[in-house]
Structure 1
């Protein structure tokens, strides 16, 4: 049988050890309470914020005013543009997740002593953040800190506020009865203001969107604030200058403006056809005026020359009088129109031929080269005479060679005894390849050629090409 003194309750060493162990566990739990209790599942998120804003590890994280976790870590992060933001590690209760991806967060003040906490506003997205995801910086709102608000009241602002208070105090001093009368007169205004405010508060009015857009507009024009202030200063200087001439000059111009406008209302509709015709004329003159831009120097030179020539034209006009009389008689002759018509028919009948032959000169320059070669034949040579009078051409040997009568075209057997002739070479005429074949044909050794050679030759001849015109 165990004695009473041998029980655990009677052993002071064991009781003391158990007490110390309980105290250590309690201290450990108390120390880590802000970071979450051990062995309790949590929901971990990271959040990017513009500034840690005096947050410390262990500060609360709340949703709807209820604590759902704590800040576990705070780390800086440098962006690509060189700016630095803070990345918060948030340890939340398991039942707080998953947060919708359109949720926002804000670092707010918990007291005037500088204690902060992170407030999360849940969104409505169907997609949520998984454990370990990061809330991007765009979902973090930037609060206005108390020190930023107080920094607005610098020395100039405080002096201006003091001047305003003094001015308002002087303005309202001794005017209580008048203020009471004004307040009584406000009653109809306030009565009529109710439907106006009801319309403004209606969702269909979109006043919230209007105010938001005004805020965006103010943010856009903020960089130009100094320019606008300079504009107002310049306008003030202009108005100060106009004040000198406001009476009677500007006043008289305003007084006479109404009769002038009445006259304009009466006369301007009658000018509309004239303005329409003028607009059409200017539109038709536009191509010519555009061309005059490049021709202006030549026209100026012509006019300068005309100043010297025109005084000498009267004697020439007198001498041309008889010529013009004869031209008049010629023009009135009934046979002249018939002759002109026949000439027109002749030119029209020659047009296809000229169109076909024109490239011979305009593209291939054959006429000029022919006359040049004829001149060379009659002027160049040696002691035996010019090339036209004396020339020796040796012909290749073989059957049907070009040195005498033959029963067929020269066709071998030697490589030189082949006939090469092109009776109708291409001259870039309509329907032909664009080539100057005569004088540019390749010599096909060992082949008999009696028509256009294969391939397309160059569209130019010696010393001339169409592109050089």
Structure 2
């Protein structure tokens, strides 16, 4: 063969042809090499191509030999993909709880399939199927950037630009922040453990925050208008400098004090709540009370303004009264008024009940009006009875027997005139039977007046 150039060229061409054939079929596996083939169902092939690697922990254990699109069995109109995995024979049947994950191999879009072996004793035979529920896919770089449309990309550029402007010339502050970062991470770990504690109820807090956000949605325009005011408030906090920081530093001690005071304060708060419930009727009446007080103030203010003028006048009057009170004659006068008052009190004690019960003043007024009730064309007649007793017109050492004349002779003893007496249960209304009957005198009618009732 060494002496025959034709034979050497034919052998070389044959070897090259075999190499080209093997290279062309390398994506489908090398001939005469036994493999362990299975099918994996995935929701999306994620731009996989045939021949990509299947790896376990970064080691190549096979390749994707084919990709087939299939209609979804559960969702109409949806599709999934089936991957034909050609694995090394030595890998053997894999556990049934194994999972696969489609991951990017580089930033330019290359992918590979990562296989994670499970722990189940049951295995998938050659030609078996790994279900879709045991597959997943990593977020691709291009998917991440595809989430940003033109408007979002402009916003990101603006944020990055502003952040760069804010970070410029602040290297010392960044270094200081990095120096306290370990402590912050330790404190953050405690915070995260507290948040992860079931008693913290982080889920309930987030749900409540979601409901609060939903409740604030209708008033979003008002909140937008409140932002400038919040800016002024935060500016005031910023100007407080160390004072605000000291307040934050004292907050843990305040919290501990509040926790210590809680057993003592709780009964007080309960009593305050009970008091608030009891005050509700008064609070409901408060608007009316405030209205009445408002009216009183409106009426009282003009009076008080006039009282400024009245004050000096009253000062002179009180000064005169003070001088009068200091005089000896005033004291003597007041001393003499005491027996007069005692005598007047006795009279009032006797007269007042009779007037209140019997209305004698009213009767006197009525009778006085009747005195001028009659008359003729020349005027009214004045009628007045005269009680003239001779014994009363002469001097005598004795009092006249009719000196205490009873104006109303039909009085019930100790009571009022007949027809004006006070009603008493079981008592008699009308004339006392024990008294003698008295008839009204009959007077002749005036001339020219027809006979009629009297």
**Shorter-normalised TM range:** 0.3 to 0.5
- Structure showing greater radius of gyration is 2
